[in-house]
Structure 1
């Protein structure tokens, strides 16, 4: 089968682009993300093996998928026959040893964000799967290169006498980062390691389009596009609370008025403070503890105290049983005064300048295109605009001026300007 890649316009033959019924997919991990990815693949026509190491976890996930499909039928979004077909394509499989996973064309790993665990899974899969099998990770921030390279330390290294060997076929490995929930979120980051084969990347991107997704390309930079560029949205607001400039509800209001669907505090309470902090810590460590990405002690304290957000009933705010915040009343007058005031007290100016700076720097390092950065931030975070759209609206001079003022007020490197600005 010959298709034309959307980006290059060159002929492309690849196993992933055969008829979906002839392209079996395995999803490793039957949690919310893995189950959602399995649903997307099955709805696109692929036979899917849903794998989990925990007894009955995959079976329970398939039962939940059946209930989800029934709801879609009840809402008129799916025909009953289609729902039966989709569910019939998903087969649960319990295995702690990935060498027992049946032969497939594509594996999407969606387990815990732990590098050693992912390395061990990939090594088992590579040893047992056909040479043509593409291995993808759904990691949100971990390095693709680190997964395929030799490791001398770590939990999985013990089974190899202290060294975990490099993968033999690193060209077949890439990242496919879906966003939660996968059936609803359109964005998929297609992430290349330094050794990933270009044809594999093209085929994976085309496959995501066939699954109804919008793929964006990125190199394996820490946090990729969304989780790297978005760090200031959370970090600036948290620092302003630490400084006593405003309370969280007021800062949320100011940023919602600027067009953001949710403020940073209500959003991190929804995501989970522990989840958001873990991604921030990962990006910070992978960038050599760059002050641009330093997590705040304020958020660390929330996590230490178990205030993880809606899932625990209390995070930045306290939540009623229906999920509504009971203590999130903003000071509307203060929110209005802050915007347009001194730069270090203006949550909108600080946030937009830093988002633009991150996006520009990512493109300057040739890790993604400006178009893909804007697309990723609009679809992955529901921002009203992408960094380059804001850059065009604000002007590079304004962004430089805000960053220069912030750098003078808070020396230390967090607000250094991208060379491209």
Structure 2
């Protein structure tokens, strides 16, 4: 992520200091950037002089002490997803950078206030397991959540902590546009837009398989038939079952273990058994053929997939999934955490969905979605399927 962000920034004309604590890591990242730009030159998508100039703007810097990082206008942190580590880094950055420097985190799910220790909302460091005091200038701290691969993916979520300065948010939003990105804005809600709204895409499929309604390959086929580029099982095998589960657990815990977001024991069992997906050769599917990216045991039942879609709600992978995706998008906007336009943009660009939740809402209708959720809530009581007040 860090080298991808650096590549985009350097390509936009900025001098970039690329920092890592491990000896040699920053130099390796510069080499990766150079190789990536060489491939673009070979394909005729970038000029040789332009590529060489971009690489020349990147300076590697090795240190574990962020107070030694040279003064810059914007810092983008892309370290491990651990709040304590990020808090420590941001305290050092605050001490070492000028007061005008914008400090951004590339976190995919951690609360911005948990990083700044903003006492105005009760998110002090102690409540999050750390011992650092609240930052003196939390207004200059924002989230800039990029998506992999950074040079290719257009979406950037611009995240506002409770103390983030509106002018700073406007500035970084404009900067992302100047980098050729499509920024969307949201508050620091658990999972932000993409990782929050996408939870049902995985969760409904896993629950249906656990119930014995269909096998994973058949559920994937049904959802691909509805326009999704990949089914939930092949997608989580690509992401990594452990990575996908970790994000789900984070959202669940940050929402005070709301049943809407509770991860499934079905996926937890996959992770416990080491079936993490393509990277381990086995996840939901097995990857032991000539092409390690193609499963050898994904054999969908086309007749069953066709029968389930359009059938009873409880056994229809498409209807269940869309009702829940719409509910999540509506709820996010109802709480004032994002706009409907940004939710649709984020889900199309961040997850390659064929359309956004509000596009589906316009097609299906709020009354129908609400009735579907009420039916599911009756069949599976406990709160997971409660309709948003926004419906």
TM-score tier after normalising by the smaller chain length: over 0.9
Matched, 1:370 2:340: yes
Distance 1:54 1:297 in 2: 36
In structure 2, the CA distance between the partners of 1:194 and 1:153, relative to structure 1 (3 Å rule), is: closer
Q: Deviations over 1:158-184 (max 9, x none)?
A: xxxxx2110000000000000111100
Preserved CA contact (<8 Å) 2:139 2:163 = yes
- Deviation of the 1:151 alpha carbon: 1.2
Matched, 1:341 2:311: yes
Q: Which residue among 325, 330, 335 is the counterpart of 1:355?
A: 325
Distance 2:127 2:187 in 1: 25
Alignment of 1:303-342 (within 5 A): 303-319=271-287, 320-322=289-291, 323-342=293-312
In structure 2, the CA distance between the partners of 1:116 and 1:321, relative to structure 1 (3 Å rule), is: farther
Matched, 1:117 2:85: yes
- Deviation of the 1:379 alpha carbon: 0.5
Q: Which residue among 21, 34, 37 is the counterpart of 2:5?
A: 37
In structure 2, the CA distance between the partners of 1:64 and 1:351, relative to structure 1 (3 Å rule), is: same
Q: Which residue among 167, 181, 201 is the counterpart of 1:213?
A: 181
Q: Deviations over 1:251-275 (max 9, x none)?
A: 0000000000000000001111111
Alignment of 1:89-238 (within 5 A): 89-149=57-117, 150-152=124-126, 157=130, 163-238=131-206
Distance 1:68 1:215 in 2: 24
In structure 2, the CA distance between the partners of 1:416 and 1:154, relative to structure 1 (3 Å rule), is: closer
- Deviation of the 1:420 alpha carbon: 1.2
What residue in structure 1 maps to residue 46 of structure 2? 78
- Deviation of the 1:419 alpha carbon: 0.5
In structure 2, the CA distance between the partners of 1:242 and 1:172, relative to structure 1 (3 Å rule), is: same
Distance 1:131 1:125 in 2: 10
Q: Which residue among 267, 272, 278 is the counterpart of 1:299?
A: 267
SS in structure 2 at match of 1:103: coil
Q: Deviations over 1:144-166 (max 9, x none)?
A: 011111312677x4xxxxx2110
- Deviation of the 1:208 alpha carbon: 0.2
Moved more, 301-310 or 319-328: 319-328
What residue in structure 1 maps to residue 120 of structure 2? none
SS in structure 1 at match of 2:361: helix
Distance 2:275 2:25 in 1: 28
Distance 1:308 1:180 in 2: 19
Distance 2:2 2:272 in 1: 28
Distance 2:36 2:194 in 1: 28
CA RMSD of aligned residues (A): 0.9
- Deviation of the 1:312 alpha carbon: 1.0
What residue in structure 2 maps to residue 14 of structure 1? none
Preserved CA contact (<8 Å) 2:344 2:358 = yes
Distance 1:394 1:258 in 2: 14
Q: Deviations over 1:98-137 (max 9, x none)?
A: 1111110000000110000000000000001000000000
Q: Deviations over 1:311-360 (max 9, x none)?
A: 11111111135211111110000000001111110000000000000000
What residue in structure 1 maps to residue 121 of structure 2? none
Point out where structure 2 has 5 or more consecutive residues left out of the alignment: 118-123
SS in structure 1 at match of 2:389: coil
Point out where structure 1 has 5 or more consecutive residues left out of the alignment: 1-32, 158-162
Matched, 1:270 2:238: yes
SS in structure 2 at match of 1:196: coil
Preserved CA contact (<8 Å) 2:222 2:305 = yes
SS in structure 2 at match of 1:92: strand
- Deviation of the 1:55 alpha carbon: 1.1
Moved more, 358-367 or 305-314: 305-314
Distance 1:154 1:363 in 2: 27
In structure 2, the CA distance between the partners of 1:153 and 1:407, relative to structure 1 (3 Å rule), is: closer
Q: Deviating runs (4+, > 3 A) in structure 1?
A: none
Preserved CA contact (<8 Å) 2:114 2:128 = no
